[in-house]
């Protein structure tokens, strides 16, 4: 089998107005996430696939993110195999935070990566 390399980008290069698809679980999301991101936990991804593709049809390329890049790589690979324009964010939320990119928390408290 021939696998093409997974499209990926570093956190600092994600455009400010990009569609960020966060595939982390609820507790991780609540602690801190990218403002305006679409939250679909990987565990719900297949069940909510239609919702994801609808948003992508409207907004274009999805920048897929998890905590460090493992789960998001799997979701990105799945989307690409289905013919969608998706890019894995290398290093995930840890890299996003490390790059000083803004985050928000559900509680309104200081956001952090769980």
Catalytic residue numbers read 66
C-alpha to C-alpha distances, 111 to 17, 72, 102, 105, 106, nearest whole angstrom: 20, 20, 9, 5, 8
Q: Confirm if 12 and 99 have CB atoms less than 8 A apart.
A: yes
Query: What are the structure tokens assigned to 9, written together?
Result: 């980008």
Give the Cα separation of 33 and 108 in Å (integer): 12
Query: What are the structure tokens assigned to 72, written together?
Result: 């998001």
How many C-beta atoms lie closer than 10 Å to residue 42's C-beta? Answer: 18
């Amino acid at each position: 089998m021939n696998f093409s390399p997974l499209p990926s980008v570093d956190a600092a290069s994600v455009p400010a107005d990009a569609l960020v698809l966060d595939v982390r679980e609820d507790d991780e999301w609540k602690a801190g996430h990218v403002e305006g991101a679409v939250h679909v936990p990987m565990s719900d991804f297949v069940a909510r696939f239609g919702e994801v593709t609808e948003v992508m049809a409207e907004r274009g390329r999805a920048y897929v993110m998890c905590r460090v890049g493992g789960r998001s790589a799997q979701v990105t690979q799945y989307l690409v195999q289905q013919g969608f324009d998706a890019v894995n964010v290398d290093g995930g939320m840890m890299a996003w935070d490390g790059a000083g990119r803004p985050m928000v928390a559900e509680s309104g408290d200081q956001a952090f990566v769980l």
